[in-house]
Amino acid sequence: MTVGEIMSKDAVCVKEDEFITHARQLMRDHFLKGLPVVDESNRVIGILSDQDILNITSTKSNVTVGGYARQCPTITPDMDVLDAASLLLDAKQHRVPVVTSTSDRTLVGILSDVDILKKVHPTKKSPKTAGNIMVTGVLTCYPEESVAKVWSNMLEWDYTGIPVVSHTNEAMGMVTRRDIIKAGYARVGLGETHDTRSGEASKVEKIMSTPAYTITEDTPIRKVMEMIFHYDIGRLTVVNNKKVVGIVDRSDLLHAFMVGTGQE
């Protein structure tokens, strides 16, 4: 199976000379984790991720996209899907632009980890349960913590989502980069993490996603996939007696299937 068979052809993108504020709005409107950055000829020069949006500390409103575009792997329509998946994992990216060829970087589509996961299937060698692939020692946050603090932690830890827990470590929900951007806290300056309407609005409980979508260590991989697709989420919290013990995200699933096919 090739990339061209599963990629999305109508890729939302942003030009390198457009303002960061416009890129942020596009991410909010289209619920995107990354935006291809192109030049005036629609040639890809990089990608802007949601982390890049959160990481911008300039207080100027006229900051343009070009200086923040990061390099991305070269993915072409004729590339094998498993080869593309390997590049996606190596780059630690959830979606990447697809270009015409290695010599012609004209944007022709977008490929995401969801596109790939919907087409791959577990093999006999694939891990069987969530416990086999989950990440343990997950850092969490409390609902009364400030969005500014969680924002800072996401940047420091390079997390896309953080489980929200009670003070007895029971799962309550999840706060993600998307939640922060969607709620309008991702301004062009870190000093703008507060909400002028109310001091309470800057707390995690005001923007976190609920309910807490949870699984156990013995949840089958196929069930994990079904839940992620059904709820359109990036990760699931693994619990034991309601206590958070780990997390499984789409990258973990993709890596597991790559192992099963002998690609990793």
Q: Which residues of 132-162 are buried (b: 16+ CB within 10 A; e: fewer)?
A: ebbeeebebbebebebbebbeebeeeebbbb
- Main-chain dihedrals φ then ψ at residue 138, nearest 5 degrees: -70, 135
Under DSSP, the state recorded for 69 is P
What is the pLDDT, as a whole number, of residue 59? 52
Q: What is the pLDDT of residues 123-149, one digit of tens each?
A: 788 899 999 999 999 899 999 999 988
Q: What is the pLDDT of residues 64-88, one digit of tens each?
A: 888 888 899 999 999 999 999 999 9
Quick check: 224 pLDDT over 90?
yes
**CATH T-level topology, domain 130-260:** CBS-domain (3.10.580)
Global pTM value: 0.81
Which residue, among 7, 27, 105, has the nearest Cα to 68 in the 3D structure? 27
Which residue, among 162, 20, 81, has the nearest Cα to 35 in the 3D structure? 20
What is the percentage of the chain residues whose pLDDT exceeds 70?
89
Which residue, among 245, 250, 209, has the nearest Cα to 228 in the 3D structure? 250
CA dihedral over 213, 218, 219, 222, signed as positive or negative = positive
Confidence of residue 60 (pLDDT cuts 50, 70, 90): low
Q: What is the pLDDT of residues 106-126, one digit of tens each?
A: 999 999 999 999 988 777 888
Under DSSP, the state recorded for 7 is S
Quick check: 151 pLDDT over 50?
yes
Question: Is the distance from CB of 186 to CB of 207 less than 8 angstroms?
Answer: no
What is the pLDDT, as a whole number, of residue 58? 52
Which residue, among 52, 30, 24, has the nearest Cα to 160 in the 3D structure? 52
CATH class of residue range 3-117: alpha beta
Structural domain spans, the chain: 3-117, 130-260
113: buried, middle or exposed (CB in 10 Å: 19+, 13-18, 0-12)?
A: buried
Within this chain, domains 3-117 and 130-260 share the same CATH topology: yes
Query: For the chain, how far is it from start to end, CA to CA, in angstroms?
Result: 18
What is the pLDDT, as a whole number, of residue 148? 87
90: buried, middle or exposed (CB in 10 Å: 19+, 13-18, 0-12)?
A: exposed
Q: Let me know the angle formed at the C-alpha of 13 by 9 and 17, rounded to the nearest 5 degrees.
A: 150
Quick check: 61 pLDDT over 70?
no
Q: What are the E-state strand segments in the chain?
A: 14-15, 34-38, 44-49, 95-99, 107-112, 161-165, 171-176, 214-215, 235-240, 243-249
